[in-house]
Amino acid sequence: MASLLFRHRSSPASSLRLLRLLLQRPISSSSASLDVDISHPTYIVWGANTGVGKTLVSAGLAFSVISRSPSSFLYLKPLQTGFPIDSDSRFLVSKITSLFRSASPPFPLLASHHALRASLPAARALPGFNEQSDSTCCFEETKIGGGDGEEVGARLVCKTLYAWNEPISPHLAVEREGMAIGDSDLREMLHRCLAFGGVNDLGKETSVWRVIETAGGVASPGPSGTLQCDLYRPLRFPAVLIGDGRLGGISTTISAYECLKLRGYDVAAIVLVDQGLANEAALLSYLRNRVHVFVLPPIPHDPLDDLKDWFCESGNVFDSLKETLIFAHSKRIERLQDMPRKAGDIFWWPFTQHQLVPLETVTVIDSRCGENFAVHKVCDKLDMIVPQFDACASWWTQGPDATFQIELARDMGYSAARYGHVMFPENVYEPALRCAELLLEGVGEGWASRAYYSDNGSTAVEIALKMAFRKFSFDHGIAVDSDNGIVDRCYDFKVLALSGSYHGDTLGAMEAQAPSSYTSFHQQPWYSGRGLFLDPPMIFISDGVWNLSFPDAFLSHQPKDEKIRFHLRDELFCQTRDCSALAKCYSAYISRQLSQFFDNCPSTYIAALIIEPVVQGAGGMQMIDPLFQRTLVRECRARRIPVIFDEVFTGFWRLGRESAAELLGCSPDVACFAKLMTGGVLPLAVTLTTEAVFEVFKGGSKLMALLHGHSYSAHAMGCTAASKAIQWFKDPCTNINIEPEGRKMKELWDMQLVLQLSSLNGVSRVIAIGTLCAIELRASGSDVGYASLYASSLVQLLRKDGIYMRPLGNVLYLMCGPCTSPDICNQHLRNVYQRISEFQQSSDKGIR
């Protein structure tokens, strides 16, 4: 967008024309959900500072809109202090009504002003105040024009939502006068007031405008102390920024603009009042090709001036501003409506069969705020932005709430401005160093001493395999020529892993996982499965209790009196089980499988164990018996087989602990982390390892080094985000879900409801741990497994309910972030419970 400068020219009042009466028609909406109709131009007016002319611009825009065509204009002032002496809503009504009456001939206008709620001192200042009245009720209403039999050409509605008497910041007014308001309550009130439409007296639909004017500057606090730029962010209305034409205004205007952009607002225009300092020239230079800049004439200083001449002189500027905002609105709607078709034409989505994705099911994401997508939908011919809870945590990466999201954006902006990107080998810079320190003090505490950065989980696994294979070679005396890397004979290295595992999509990572949908001939014709893949025992909730299920290969060796049903999950993680008969059976089972493998493949080495600790993610959210995995680690240690934990999915509080190794009760030699490590805002991965593994890569030749990396290793922005996320998630002061000692996360899911869910006829199993609640629907035949479409109709219903899911076949899962309120988790869990119950009833009737 080019930066254009519009200056004032006089616009004669005679250009006004007669308009007809507009009647309000409310648009239905739910106060529980911030679904926003964006069919009509809706803008939020911000100020670079207080006293820069926000209300004058709102009034001028309103007059331009309703004096040019049959229109309705809604002006909302959510927060007003200095009331009732200062009332921007009343000012708007009085000025615009006066402008209409002064026209020749006078044009009738139906205008109204409503003040909805006020503090007691503010209410007392009103004429006719009754001490016994409730100040939370509507206490003032003014209507002008629109008498019986009078034709009215336009409708202006102005509302003040909350008002305080003292002319100070709202957060201070609350301290002094009371009437505290929660952020969500304010947004819901604003949302209800936005239900505004227009028809003329013949019943014909007419244009509607809605403008919300903030109080003070962009970063002025609201009633709760939350900055207004954060307070209104969940709604993300496009912005009109009123710049400051006074001395120092260049700096405050640019700062306000960047503050809004940092939070993801679209700024459609900047308007400032000419103060004779030519601030617009510097703003145009800085903002070129980014935003339109409009300049209004100087405002008369005479307090008796009614500003009629000023509004007329400014007419062309306001008309140009209006046209700019109309264009920006229409382009936004056009783009949102066209995005599904465009996406279907040019995207190749991962893990997606395009033939099974109708365009009407494509989700158009306008933005993200915390854990909610803002999704564009067309409902009853209205363009809507509706919130959807990201129940798959955007492929398990997301953790920040809305506040943390802004914190991350700010820190990454600093990092980008300070470093951009710098190459990593033989260099050190603060973000990379700080991140490594936090990793070794956190998920690597007690065992790891080295951090090797990469870009994603699959790459981190490839690096881990290289590390483990070198360590195995060293420990088992496999001689390598350090000058050229040639060994004295051919060795066949394979891994020990579990069926159902998933370690990534790069070729080496795929070789380290058991045959599955991801490794089929259609996906990877080279795949050979270079490993011994054991079928592990599983744990899950069914019929209200935790169950232990054994693979077929183990059933004949199962202890007869072994407990297989548990009432508490913690019983399964208790390390006293290590002395049980079952632990001995597990050990014997593993030894037997290894012996049989070596008998069949005498020249093969098992050179690494790789497991996803506790929960296998992409394999269907399967929970492995922790006793079995601990036993597996012990058996490999006894054989000097390096142990790799793939914690790409399970790390950083995904399962209720910072590392799943804590739950498991044992440590690896190498571990891989990614996803939640950066709070989901940038790709970054790390492979942590012990000093013993690091030592075997040291030598006199560069060929002995680990020759692996990529151009963006240890990217400063990614390391900055990771440092912030690591500290934020584990600090009880920033994460309400962390226990005071900082080692454990509180239970996020209502376990009573989870148990009830597991008892539904249509549910095969459930697991609930940390931020994960997974539900496998009871199905059979082709309706089971990753390719299953069994849950498709259920998923679409849940998306309509505001829960965005992307299942693994017939396995649904809810996933939140480490900071998510348990109330939110259980609200969505109840919704899922209800939908699954209805889904099962439909299936039983054969109408699914």
pLDDT tens string 361-402: 999 999 999 999 999 999 888 999 999 999 999 999 998 888
Do 471 and 554 lie in one domain? The reply is yes
**Distance from C-alpha of 651 to C-alpha of 648, rounded to nearest angstrom:** 6
560 and 622 both lie in a single domain: yes
Which pLDDT value is given to residue 783?
Answer: 87
Residue 367 lies in a domain: no
Beta carbons within 10 angstroms of residue 151's beta carbon: 12
- Both 592 and 534 in one domain: the answer is yes
Residues 774 and 674 in one domain: no
Confidence of residue 743 (pLDDT cuts 50, 70, 90): confident
Residue 799 neighbours by CB distance under 10 Å: 18
Q: Do 561 and 516 fall within a single domain? A: yes
Q: Give the CATH number of the domain where residue 494 resides.
A: 3.40.640.10
Calculate mean pLDDT across residues 816-838: 95
Q: Is residue 231 part of a domain?
A: yes
pLDDT of residue 71: 85
In a domain, 428, yes or no: yes
What is the CATH number for 780? Answer: 3.90.1150.10
What CATH number did the domain enclosing 69 receive? 3.40.50.300
Residues 779, 711 share a domain: no
- Rounded-to-integer distance, Cα 257 and Cα 772, Å: 39
pLDDT at 28 over 90: no
Q: What is the DSSP letter of 843?
A: H
Alpha-carbon separation of residue 316 from 67, 81, 104 (angstroms): 13, 32, 19
Q: Could you read off the pLDDT of 502-560 as tens digits, one per residue? A: 999 999 999 999 999 999 888 889 999 999 999 999 999 999 999 999 998 777 767 77
Measured N-to-C along each axis, helices 402-419 and 249-262 cross at an angle, to the nearest 10 degrees, of 120
**What six digits make up the tokens of 687?**
């492979």
Considering the domain architecture, whether residues 152 and 284 belong to the same structural domain is answered as: yes
Shared domain for 605 and 726, answered yes or no, is: yes
Number of domains making up the chain:
3
Query: What three-state secondary structure class fits 377?
Result: strand
Using CA atoms, how far apart are residues 818 and 654, in angstroms rounded to an integer? 7
Distance from C-alpha of 670 to C-alpha of 660, rounded to nearest angstrom: 14
Q: How many other CB atoms sit within 10 Å of the CB of residue 552?
A: 7
pLDDT at 24: 28
651, 508 Cβ separation under 8 angstroms? no
Average pLDDT over residues 800-821: 95
Q: pLDDT tens digits, residue range 628-671?
A: 999 999 999 999 999 999 999 999 999 999 999 999 999 999 99
- Which backbone phi and psi does 636 adopt, to 5 degrees? -70, -40
314 and 433 assigned to the same domain: no
Q: Please state, in angstroms and as integers, the Cα–Cα distance from residue 779 to each residue in 766, 783, 791, 811, 835, following that order.
A: 14, 6, 10, 10, 16
Pair 541, 768: CB distance under 8 Å: yes
**What is this structure's pTM?**
0.91
Q: Which one, of 635, 622, 514, lies nearest residue 586 by Cα?
A: 635
DSSP 299: P
Residue 801's domain spans which residues?
751-844
Q: pLDDT at position 288, please? A: 86
Reported as a single tens digit per residue, the pLDDT across 322-357 is 999 999 999 999 999 999 999 999 999 999 999 999
pLDDT at 200 over 50: no
Based on the fold, state whether residues 713 and 833 are members of the same structural domain: no
Residue ending a domain, choose from 321, 336, 351: 336
Residue 20 in this model has a pLDDT that exceeds 50: no
Place of tokens 């479409």: 789
What is the per-residue pLDDT for 105? 62
Q: Check whether the bond before 105 is cis (ω within 30° of 0).
A: yes
Distances from the Cα of 409 to the Cα of 39, 81, 679, 721, 816, angstroms: 30, 31, 11, 8, 20
pLDDT (0 to 100) of residue 187: 95
Neighbours of 366 (CB within 10 A): 17
Give whole-number Cα distances, 649 to 97, 145, 173, 655, 676, in Å: 61, 64, 47, 9, 8
Question: Which amino acid type is present at position 514?
Answer: A
Q: Are residues 215 and 174 in the same domain?
A: yes
Confirm whether 390 is domain-assigned.
Answer: no
Q: Say which amino acid occupies 35.
A: D
Does 524 fall in a domain? yes
Q: C-alpha dihedral over 99, 102, 106, 109, to 10 degrees?
A: 30
Percentage of the chain lying above the pLDDT 70 cut: 89
* Residue 848: predicted pLDDT: 54
Taking 60 as the threshold, does the pLDDT of residue 813 lie above it? yes
Supply the mean pLDDT for the chain: 89
pLDDT surpassing 90 at residue 491: no
Q: Is residue 382 part of a domain?
A: no
How far apart (Å, rounded) are the C-alpha atoms in residues 208 and 204? 12
- Looking at residue 142, its pLDDT comes to 67
Alpha-carbon span 682 to 753, nearest angstrom: 35
Q: Are strands 207-213 and 71-80 parallel, antiparallel or unpaired?
A: parallel
**Looking at 285, 317, 336, which one is the last position of a domain?**
336
Whether 711 and 840 map to the same domain: the answer is no
Question: Cα torsion at 544, 545, 551, 555 (round to 10°)?
Answer: -120
Whether the CB-CB separation of 127 and 44 falls below 8 Å is answered with: no
pLDDT tens, position by position, 267-308 = 999 999 999 999 999 999 999 889 999 999 999 887 767 899
More confident residue, 479 or 444: 444
Structural domain contains residue 739? no
Q: Read off the pLDDT band of 13 (50, 70, 90).
A: very low
Cis ω before 303 (30° cut-off from 0): no
Provide the pLDDT for residue 134: 57
Model pLDDT for residues 127-185, shown as the tens digit of each residue: 767 666 555 555 566 666 655 555 556 889 999 999 999 999 999 999 999 999 999 99
- Note whether 692 and 471 are within 8 A (CB): yes
- Residue 538 CA to residue 504 CA, distance in Å, equals 22
Q: Is residue 536 part of a domain?
A: yes
> Domain boundary residue among 698, 730, 762?
730
Question: Percentage of the chain surpassing pLDDT 90?
Answer: 75
Q: Which residues contact 728 (CB under 8 A, 6 or more apart)?
A: 400, 404, 407, 679, 734, 735, 819
